Amino acid sequence: MKKFISEDGLVLPLDRSNVDTDYIIPKQFLKSIKRTGFGKNLFDEARYLDKGLPDADCSDRPINPDFVMNQARYAGVSILLARENFGCGSSREHAPWALDDYGFRCVIAPSYADIFFNNCVKNGILLIVLEENIIEKLFADTFQNEGYRLAVDLPSQTITTPDGEKIPFEIEDSRKNILLNGLDDISMTLQNEQDIQGFEASWKQKSPWLFSRIN
């Protein structure tokens, strides 16, 4: 799995709460059976003025100049600054795949939806939770200063602003470990093979109807 150790990058301020996964990647792009290539359709409905079709070439589609990501000063962003309940809605992992494919390595927001949170960890994207007032200040600073960057460092759990201010953040040890080492969690779970088999045997005794094939 992909690692996350640190990221020093430009910040995109997405000033909108309850950003849902349909907004991140509309459903028509979910018809793909691959994991890659979703970046060009990230935020598709906000980003382009026409309706996006799967497999269409996006290079000559009309761009929505009002959408923040289309402004020249935000070219090459890798850190997304967002509002509360980011990633709500469907369980589609295409949302983190699209963020990753576009080049985002890290999201900073006051809160996230549960399933989206897990899906990001599995794709090496670091989600940082900060308090509303700090988020507010980061939005203001990003809007005011062209070329605003943040340096995110996972081992020390800090974000460093251009003025050298250090903002600490919390992360669960298990998630930190997975991200730092890019661990394959299926292999990790399979190290417990005997425990799983043991559980299964006793569960089968207790609840035999869950293991009998009726049809």
Partner 1 sequence: MSGKTLYDKLWESHLVKNQDDGTSLIYIDLHFLHEVTSPQAFEGLRIAGRRPWRADANMATPDHNVPTTTDERSRGVEGIIDPVSKIQVKSLDSNCLEFGIDEFEIDDPRHGIVHVIGPEQGRTLPGMTIVCGDSHTSTHGALGALAHGIGTSEVEHVLATQCLVQKKAKNMLVSVNGQLKPGITAKDVVLAIIGHIGTAGGTGYTIEFGGDAIRSLSVEGRMTVCNMAIEAGARAGIVAVDEKTIDYVKGRPFAPKGELWNQAEAAWRALVSDEGAEFDAVVNLEAADIVPQVSWGTSPEMVAPVNGYVPNPADLTNESKRNNYQQALKYMGLEAGTAIKDIMLDRVFIGSCTNSRIEDLRAAAAVVKGRKVADNIKEALVVPGSGLVKAQAELEGLDKIFTEAGLQWREPGCSMCLAMNADQLGEGEHCASTSNRNFEGRQGFGGRTHLVSPAMAAAAAVHGHFVDVREIEL
Question: Residues in the site for partner 1, rule: CB under 8 A?
Answer: 15-18, 20, 22-23, 26-28, 30-35, 45, 51-52, 54-55, 83-85, 88-93, 96, 111, 113-115, 118-119, 122-123, 172-174, 177, 185-186, 189-190, 192, 195-196, 199-200, 203, 206-210, 212-215
- Per DSSP, the chain holds a count of helices (H) and strands (E) of 8, 7
In angstroms, give the least distance from the CB of 134 to partner 1: 14
Helices (H), 59-172: 94-102, 114-121, 132-144
CA angle 93, 96, 100 (to 5 degrees): 140
**Alpha-carbon 24 to chain mean position:** 10
In angstroms, give the least distance from the CB of 163 to partner 1: 25
In angstroms, give the least distance from the CB of 56 to partner 1: 11
Residue among 45 and 153 whose Cβ is closer to partner 1 = 45
Residue among 114 and 165 whose Cβ is closer to partner 1 = 114
Query: CB 78: neighbour CB atoms within 10 A?
Result: 18
**Alpha-carbon 200 to chain mean position:** 34
In angstroms, give the least distance from the CB of 160 to partner 1: 26
Residue among 92 and 105 whose Cβ is closer to partner 1 = 92
Spatial distance between the Cα atoms of 109 and 131, rounded to a whole number of angstroms = 8
- The CA distances from residue 98 to 110, 139, 159, in Å, are 21, 23, 24
Strands 6-13 and 149-153, how do they pair? Answer: antiparallel
Residue among 35 and 166 whose Cβ is closer to partner 1 = 35
- Asked if 42 contacts 25 with a C-beta cutoff of 8 angstroms, the reply is yes
In angstroms, give the least distance from the CB of 17 to partner 1: 5
Residue among 144 and 207 whose Cβ is closer to partner 1 = 207
**Alpha-carbon 10 to chain mean position:** 16
In angstroms, give the least distance from the CB of 117 to partner 1: 10
Residue among 86 and 148 whose Cβ is closer to partner 1 = 86
